[in-house]
């Protein structure tokens, strides 16, 4: 009995020691991130580190409301900007699995209005070209000039971005895209396209991303927000994720800040599929777990063949004017709305007024990390943001 008690005691002490060793990097990581937060250039942010099985670390720092001193947590929600585009990619591949479309189909097979490059009117634009940003569609000045719309007319002392339009100018994104990209549209110009054949050159296009979502809507005969909820958010149990605050607990939403002292007036994106997804670090962490699992052929949203297409590079040197080989450049190569860097980092970055985000996983270690911030970043803020992500990088294999 004494031997058994001694053995049990040793096992208990070993388990306690192992837990303390495992906890030490988490505590140290939180301490280092808190020190970076105290530089004072970002009001609130959240981070997560995940592998293919679980969320290894998720934490919020600072405030989601600086006046009420409401803490920014891992469950605080906010827009994540262009990381949203990766959802379009998964949705397109799900629609292909359902035999509603094919990636190499002409987009005009599914659109209620025609879109052609006026410099090459005989050349068709395909869904794959939209998804790899080789459609030759440019982000016309009207994209920013008319694409951000205030949620309400009166905003107290909140700051207005120069591009914010009044609420009565909000419209369906199909009308918005038609006005810019169809030759009969109110804001159409030939220079909304580049003078290259579709498929020939990389040109990052938010308008092209919105157009891909519209193609999907018409192919599946279901609104984009409903299709993505049914086939992505619900299966992954992303309860704090949606395209509108109407789909979420609005009390969890952070305020956005034009600077560390000034709240930015609440706004919405007309072309919402390109950057309007609202989520939390916890939910985005679960989504990133699925991406890593899918990369390894074990995902649940798509079959192996579809996931292989999601992550298969579509670009080469000839598609780029100048190819940036930095570690987290998501434009070096492109799967289906999935960025691939020269150093094997897979994911996407994002930026909108008072929103800056990063989400990547390492194709070698199969570990991912993300960072979401609620403040417009000036020079010092950019350096703080980079420091946060570098710190996550340094702990990637320590957890």
Does 280 or 322 have the greater pLDDT score? 280
pTM: 0.93
pLDDT band at 397 (very low <50, low <70, confident <90, very high): confident
pLDDT in tens, 298-330: 999 999 999 999 999 999 999 998 899 999 999
pLDDT tens-digit series, residues 75-95: 999 999 999 999 999 999 999
**SS3 sequence, the chain?**
CHHHHHHHHHHHHHHHHHHHHHHHHHHHHHHHHHHHHCCCCCCEEEEEEECCCCEEEEEEEEEEECCCCEECCCCCEEECHHHHHHHHHHHHHHHHHCCCCCCCCEHHHCCCCCCCCCCCCCCCCEHHHHHCCCCCECCCHHHHHHHEEECCCCCCCCECCCCCECHHHCCCHHHHHHHHHCCCCCCCCHHHECCCCCCCCCCCCHHHHHHHHHHHHHHHCCCHHHHHHHHHHCCCCCCCCECCHHHCCHHHECCCECCCCCEECCEEECCHHHCCCEECHHHHHHHHHHHHHHHCCCCCCCCHHHHHHHCCCCCCHHHCCCCCCCCCCCCCEECCCCEECCCCEEEEEEEECCEEEEEEEECCCCCEEEEEECECCCHHHHHHHHHHHHHHHHCCCCC
Residue-level pLDDT at 4: 33
State yes or no: pLDDT of 15 exceeds 90. no
Instruction: State residue 22's pLDDT score.
Output: 52
Top-level class of domain 37-394: alpha beta
Torsion angles phi and psi, residue 87, rounded to 5: -70, -35
Kindly list the strands in the beta sheet with 368-373, ordered across the sheet, starting from the edge strand earlier in the chain.
70-71, 55-65, 44-50, 368-373, 355-362, 345-352, 339-340, 333-334
Domains of the chain by residue range? 37-394
**Residue 2 pLDDT greater than 90, yes or no:** no
pLDDT at 399: 82
pLDDT band at 20 (very low <50, low <70, confident <90, very high): very low
């Amino acid at each position: 009995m004494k031997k058994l008690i001694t053995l049990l005691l040793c096992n208990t002490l070993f388990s306690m020691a192992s837990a303390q060793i495992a906890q030490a990097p988490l505590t140290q990581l939180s301490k280092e991130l808190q020190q970076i937060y105290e530089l004072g250039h970002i009001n609130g942010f959240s981070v997560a580190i995940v592998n293919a099985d679980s969320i290894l670390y998720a934490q919020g720092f600072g405030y989601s409301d600086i006046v009420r001193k409401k803490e920014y947590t891992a469950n605080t929600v906010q827009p994540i900007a262009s990381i949203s585009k990766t959802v379009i990619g998964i949705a397109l591949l799900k629609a292909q699995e359902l035999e509603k479309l094919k990636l190499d189909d002409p987009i005009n097979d599914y659109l209620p209005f025609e879109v052609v490059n006026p410099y090459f009117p005989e050349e068709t634009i395909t869904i794959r070209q939209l998804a790899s940003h080789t459609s030759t569609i440019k982000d016309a000045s009207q994209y920013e000039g008319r694409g951000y719309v205030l949620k309400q007319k009166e905003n107290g002392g909140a700051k207005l971005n120069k591009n914010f339009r009044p609420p009565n100018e909000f419209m369906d994104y199909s009308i918005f895209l038609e006005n810019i990209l169809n030759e009969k549209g109110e804001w159409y110009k030939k220079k909304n396209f580049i003078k290259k054949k579709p498929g020939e050159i990389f040109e990052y296009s938010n308008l092209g991303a919105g157009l891909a979502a519209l193609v999907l809507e018409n192919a599946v005969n279901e609104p984009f927000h409903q299709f993505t909820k049914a086939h992505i958010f619900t299966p992954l149990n992303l309860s704090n994720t949606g395209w509108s605050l109407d789909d979420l607990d609005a009390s969890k939403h952070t305020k956005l800040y034009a600077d560390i002292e000034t709240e930015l007036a609440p706004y919405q994106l007309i072309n919402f599929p390109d950057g309007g997804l609202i989520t939390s670090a916890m939910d985005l962490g679960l989504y990133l777990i699925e991406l890593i699992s899918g990369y390894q052929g074990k995902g649940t949203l798509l079959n192996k063949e579809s996931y292989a297409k999601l992550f298969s590079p579509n670009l080469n040197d000839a598609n780029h004017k100048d190819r940036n080989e930095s570690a987290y450049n998501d434009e070096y190569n492109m799967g289906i709305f999935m960025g691939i860097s020269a150093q094997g980092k897979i994911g996407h970055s994002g930026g909108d007024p008072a929103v800056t985000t990063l989400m990547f996983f390492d194709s070698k270690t199969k570990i991912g990390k993300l960072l979401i911030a609620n403040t417009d970043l000036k020079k010092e803020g950019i350096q703080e943001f980079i420091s946060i992500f570098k710190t996550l990088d340094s702990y990637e294999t320590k957890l």
